[in-house]
Every structure is written in structure tokens, then in C-alpha cells.
């Protein structure tokens, strides 16, 4: 499936708090979640994350690759329904991020090194994970999309001028 990705820092679809998925909606959206996974696994796309609002669906679902490093070839890709970050470490890591919704732009973003996330899987089973490093960063980035936050809203002070860049 080819997605039309929502882009632009002022795009109302990206600046809207996403609604939780209800259990009754699972069948309606199940195929979409699988297509999101296929999209980010496709080597042509070369991305490790995608949120439902980026593909015109204002629901709390993210598709993420859980990996140790960006070169990790054995990563697991999952979708998380109604993800919630329960806690995060005080230790912060700064790393370069990009986003499909802000094409070809990369800036340093500070994020918690470790997080505890709770979500529902495709069988409506609650799962809790402790994530660290890149996996924690990926989930934080995507959960932000569900709460109308783009990574450019969180760039480090040294790159503050990027917020004013026209997209």
C-alpha cells in the first residue's frame, strides 16, 4: 500500500489529539495497522516508525521498530494501540531525528533514555514494555504524534532557529 503521508508543521491533521481506539473498531482498522507495518518494513521507505495521524487516521495507533541500533537487522516491528508512556528515566539522551511529516529535515532532540510503555496489541491484550535507547526514542517520537507534537517542537536549544523554518 502506498500511503499519502501528512506533512507540514501547521497541518491540522498533525496538530490534533488522536482519539483512543475502541475495541469495536478493531476489525475496521486491523488491515490498516498491518499495512503500516508493511510500509515501514519496506526497504524503499527506509523508516522505522509511523503514526496513524500521519496516514489520515486520527486514532491512537503507532507502528514502531524496536531495535538496539539503527543498523540492527533483527529488529521487531509492532503496532501499539492506545500506547501510554507510564514512566521515563531522568537520564536524557540527545540524538538526531527526522520525520516523514517534516521531510528531509533532521535535528537533535532530547528524549528520556528509558521508558515504560503500556499498549494493546492486535488481540486487545495489554502489554507493558521497558524500552531503552533507540527503541525508547522511537516510541516517544510516535506517541508525540498522537498528542499533536512534532519533533521540531522538541529540538535542542542550539537548533532553535529550525522551529522557524518554513515547511
160 — pLDDT class (breaks 50, 70, 90) = low
From the candidates 142, 159, 160, 161, which is the catalytic residue? 142
CATH architecture of 23-164: Alpha-Beta Complex (3.90)
Is 16 labelled as part of a ligand binding site?
Answer: no
Q: Is 161 a catalytic residue?
A: no
Is 165 labelled as part of a ligand binding site?
Answer: no
Residue with cell 486487545: 124
Is 145 labelled as part of a ligand binding site?
Answer: yes
pTM of the model: 0.84
Q: Which residues contact 108 (CB under 8 A, 6 or more apart)?
A: 94, 95, 96, 97, 155, 156, 158, 159
Q: Is the pLDDT of residue 60 over 90?
A: yes
Q: Is the pLDDT of residue 167 over 50?
A: no
Amino acid at each position: 500500500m502506498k500511503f499519502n503521508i501528512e506533512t507540514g508543521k501547521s497541518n491540522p491533521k498533525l496538530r490534533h489529539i488522536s482519539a483512543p481506539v475502541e475495541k469495536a473498531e478493531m476489525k475496521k482498522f486491523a488491515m490498516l495497522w498491518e499495512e503500516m507495518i508493511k510500509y515501514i518494513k519496506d526497504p524503499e521507505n527506509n523508516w522505522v516508525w509511523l503514526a496513524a495521524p500521519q496516514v489520515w487516521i486520527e486514532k491512537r495507533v503507532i507502528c514502531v521498530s524496536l531495535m538496539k541500533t539503527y543498523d540492527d537487522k533483527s529488529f521487531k516491528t509492532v503496532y501499539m494501540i492506545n500506547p501510554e508512556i507510564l514512566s521515563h528515566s531522568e537520564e536524557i539522551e540527545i540524538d538526531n531525528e527526522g520525520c516523514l511529516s517534516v521531510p528531509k529535515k533532521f535535528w537533535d532532540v532530547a528524549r528520556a533514555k528509558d521508558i515504560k510503555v503500556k499498549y494493546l496489541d492486535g488481540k486487545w491484550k495489554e502489554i507493558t514494555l521497558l524500552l531503552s535507547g533507540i527503541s525508547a526514542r522511537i516510541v516517544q517520537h510516535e506517541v508525540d504524534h498522537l498528542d499533536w507534537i512534532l519533533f521540531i517542537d522538541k529540538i535542542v536549544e542550539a537548533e532553535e532557529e529550525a522551529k522557524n523554518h518554513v515547511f
